[in-house]
Structure 1
Amino acid sequence: MNTSNAYNQYKENSVNFASKEQLLLLLLDNAVKFSKVGRQAIIEKNIKKSHENLKKAQNIFYELIATLDLSKSGDWGQSMVSVYNFIIESLIKANIKKDISIMDEVIPIIEEVRNTWTEAYKISVNSK
């Protein structure tokens, strides 16, 4: 088995056996990555690449909203929906306008969401 195949197998198994919390963190890591790639593509005037990556980031937040159980999360869950919607709207605006300044505002928010979930995951693992 060559290195590339071994790595792909590892990645596939990581996703297949990840907990729902680990999958959430993987999604958020990808949202950060796609946003940064999309931002760079705007700078490079690569319209297709920017659109594809900003759309991927957007779709992650649509998925996070769809999977949030508002019946159990109360006000906190509604606040998360508001943050996720703000991120989606910002990504849409940045994509339409190809505007770096919007990306410079939204990427730190996406990173903060990821960091908050990462900390929550660490706390939950350490409390078990």
Structure 2
Amino acid sequence: MNPMLALRQYQKVGAQAQASEASPHRLVQMLMEGGLDRIAQAKGAIVRKDVPAKCVAISKAVGIVGGLREGLDLENSAEAVSELDSLYIYMMKRLAEANIKSDPRILDEVAGLLRTVKEGWDAIAAPGPQF
């Protein structure tokens, strides 16, 4: 058996188990982490000039950002949710542009935006100071 294939299967099962036990808040965190990972993979593929891997990683990143966008409650939303929706649309457009241009700077921009959103999301669940 191929050891890399076995490792991938193990990671997949581990991720599935973690997702099945995760709270909705943690699932969003996991999506954001996955998006950042895919962007990093795409950046590495650009450096290696591995066009197929770049396309796959960016496509997955677009899908993750799209999934985050689909999870927004736009019908019962505040203005901030509408702004987040627009930001997710912008990120998806920029990822597509990064794919076309093979531009790692665009990937850095999107990763920075996603990281900022993730930091805000992470802060929502962070426990307050203990007195």
| TM-score > 0.5 by shorter chain | yes
Q: How many residues align?
A: 123
Q: Deviations over 1:25-52 (max 9, x none)?
A: 0000000000011011111100011110
1:49 counterpart residue number: 53
Change (3 A) 1:45 1:67: same
Deviates more, 1:103-112 or 1:83-92: 103-112
Q: Give 1:104 shift.
A: 2.3
CA RMSD of aligned residues (A): 2.2
Asked whether 1:62 is paired with 2:77, we answer no
Question: Structure 2: which amino acid aligns with 1:92?
Answer: A
Q: Tell me the SS of whatever aligns to 1:50.
A: helix
Q: Distance in 2 between matches of 1:50 and 1:43?
A: 10
Q: Tell me the SS of whatever aligns to 1:73.
A: coil
Match of 2:40 among 36, 46, 58: 36
Asked whether 1:116 is paired with 2:113, we answer no
TM-score by length of 1: 0.85
Q: Give 1:8 shift.
A: 5.6
Q: Distance in 2 between matches of 1:60 and 1:10?
A: 19
Match of 1:23 among 21, 24, 27: 27
Q: Distance in 1 between matches of 2:43 and 2:61?
A: 11
Gaps of 5+ in 2: 1-6
Moved over 4 A (4+): 4-10
2:99 counterpart residue number: 95
Q: Deviations over 1:75-110 (max 9, x none)?
A: 111000011111111100000111122122221111
Question: Structure 2: which amino acid aligns with 1:77?
Answer: V
Question: Structure 2: which amino acid aligns with 1:100?
Answer: P
Question: Structure 1: which amino acid aligns with 2:26?
Answer: Q
Change (3 A) 1:76 1:38: same
Q: Distance in 1 between matches of 2:49 and 2:11?
A: 32
TM-score by length of 2: 0.83
Asked whether 1:73 is paired with 2:77, we answer yes
Deviates more, 1:87-96 or 1:97-106: 97-106
1:82 counterpart residue number: 86
2:4 counterpart residue number: none
